[in-house]
Amino acid sequence: MKLKKNALPLIILFLFLLVGGFVFFSSFFDDAEQISLSPERIPVAKKEILFGIPMDPYKTSIYTVSRNESLSAILKKQHVELSRIAEIAEKSMPVFNVRKMSAGNSYTIFKSNTDTSKIAFLVYQPNQVDYIVYDLRDSLKVYAGKKTVDKRVEKVAGVINGSLYETLQEQHASPELAVQLAEIYGWAVNFYRLNAGDWFKIQYEQSYVNGQPIGVGKILSAVFSQNDKEFQAYYFQPDSSKAGEYYDDQGKSLRRSFLKAPLKYSRISSRYSLSRFHPVQMRWKAHFGTDFAAPQGTPIIATGSGVVIESAFSPFNGNYVKIKHNDTYTTQYLHMSRRATKKGQHVSQGQLIGYVGSTGLATGPHVCYRFWKNGKQVDALRQYFPPTEPIESKYLAAFNQHISKQMEILKKLNPDDILSLSPDVFAFYDLRDQRMKHLLPDYLLGINKTEAELPKDYL
């Protein structure tokens, strides 16, 4: 016992050196590079391999795709002949559609050390994980690759003073976590009515590429306290044939047969009502649906699983989709800019079915969400749905073992502590915050107080 106690710091030190040494050395061999937002040439420090290409014979520069810049424009600038450009675009088609190249993404150009007049490779990165290699040496080759994504478990906790968003921001954690929490606890916590003093603790996956954070993965476990009532959530996948989902500490599912909204990021712009002033028709009439406003093109998801019974266009509804869930329930989604499902198709809860638009009778981009119960249109926000199946008894032992570890870690987290995440994570989210903020629904930002005045029976 005594020996162990003395040995422990040494073991920790050894592990620390081992991991540190690995990180230090691997940085030389990894395809780590500096990603810059500047559109100008930036010389890349020489590394052994980049995008799977041995770097020794090449000089490389990273550029950023500028607005409306196409692959052919990029290649033209590099003095590639027009006939060659056409061949490149054609060969690229099965791997990557060059029209999908978008501004702000980066590409790297490799030129031979001995002949800088020609490009040897062009590598385009549609995101931080995937890349497309255009091998332009003699015979043309186009192929796709992926960088290795490391997932590390991070923890964050906080006491809510203003909004959930602000609290996460204070802790330098991603605002994406607010969206995930709202999804997990959609039926348990009323996010419209958060009070000062409510708190949360979360364990989640953070993804990294070459040591740089690229985004959050899923929440592994969480506790959310609202009005001194604690709600626990544990992600658990019983076996590989079943989808993982969130359960409370008793193994009861937090999921219901329907989601609360057909959009992840949205705000309710008009509720179901028997009488409202119609903004387009300019008269009072019943509104048998719930309107969710969101930017044009926002993905619309099926609130429950079922079969698509209509996917069509009509002058009033615009592009719309109707789903029959069972003999009791049917849902409909109107005014889509584009539909992403066909009649007869089976869809599962959360599956993409179309994109927000303003087709048909609509003033601005939104989804009119309609809900039928036994053939009668009802207010979707006022329906009670029982939780879905709890964990099967044969998985209970594994579940309990899994959550006891998670619980222990959550117990040690103190919501009053400010966690010190690494400066990289800090900078990353500082930047992303700006982009995420306008995507977040008002209730997570705590800025639209009228939504806080929703009826008490909203839940």
The candidate with the shortest Cα–Cα distance to 172, out of 431, 426, 432, is: 426
Using the rule CB under 5 A, is 263 a contact of Zn ion? no
Pick the binder of Zn ion from 30, 249, 291, 451 (CB under 5 A): 291
Is residue 44 close enough to count as binding Zn ion by CB under 5 A? no
**Smallest distance from the beta carbon of 386 to Zn ion, in angstroms?**
27
Q: For Zn ion, which stretch binds (CB under 5 A), given 167-175, 293-301, 363-371, 390-398?
A: 363-371
The residues, ordered by sequence, that sit 6+ positions from 325 with a Cβ below 8 Å of its Cβ are 257, 258, 304, 305, 306, 331
185 or 371: CB nearest Zn ion: 371
Q: Does 154 bind Zn ion (CB under 5 A)?
A: no
| Number of chain positions touching Zn ion (CB under 5 A) | 3
Q: In sequence order, what are the residues at sequence separation of 6 or more whose Cβ sits closer than 8 angstroms to the Cβ of residue 6?
A: none
Binding residue for Zn ion, selected from 158, 175, 213, 289, defined by CB under 5 A: 289
The total of other beta-carbon atoms located within 10 Å of residue 156's CB is: 23
* Residue number closest to Zn ion, CB atom: 368
In the complex, the smallest distance separating the C-beta of residue 348 from Zn ion, rounded to whole angstroms, is 25
Nearer to Zn ion, 306 or 360 (CB): 360
Min CB(152)–Zn ion separation in Å: 43
Interface region with Zn ion, contact rule CB under 5 A, candidates 296-304, 368-376, 394-402, 410-418: 368-376
Residue 134 phi, psi dihedral angles, 5° rounding: -105, 105
Least Å distance between CB 335 and Zn ion? 8
Question: Is 234 in contact with 250 (CB distance < 8 Å)?
Answer: no
**Piece of the chain touching Zn ion by CB under 5 A; list 20-28, 50-58, 293-301, 364-372:** 364-372
DSSP H or E run through 442 = helix 442-445
Residue at token pair 């009515």: 193
d(CA 333, CA 79): 49
Q: Output the six-digit token pair for 297.
A: 């093109």
**Residue 186 binds Zn ion, judged by CB under 5 A:** no
Task: Decide: is 335 part of the binding site for Zn ion (CB under 5 A).
Answer: no
* CA 51 centroid distance within chain: 25
Choosing from 182, 368, 381, 391, the residue that interacts with Zn ion (CB under 5 A) is: 368
CB 133, CB 52: distance < 8 Å: yes
The CA distance from 110 to 107, in Å, is 10
Residue 183 is classified by DSSP as H
Q: Which is nearer to Zn ion, 276 or 338 (CB)?
A: 276
Residues that bind Zn ion (CB under 5 A): 289, 291, 368
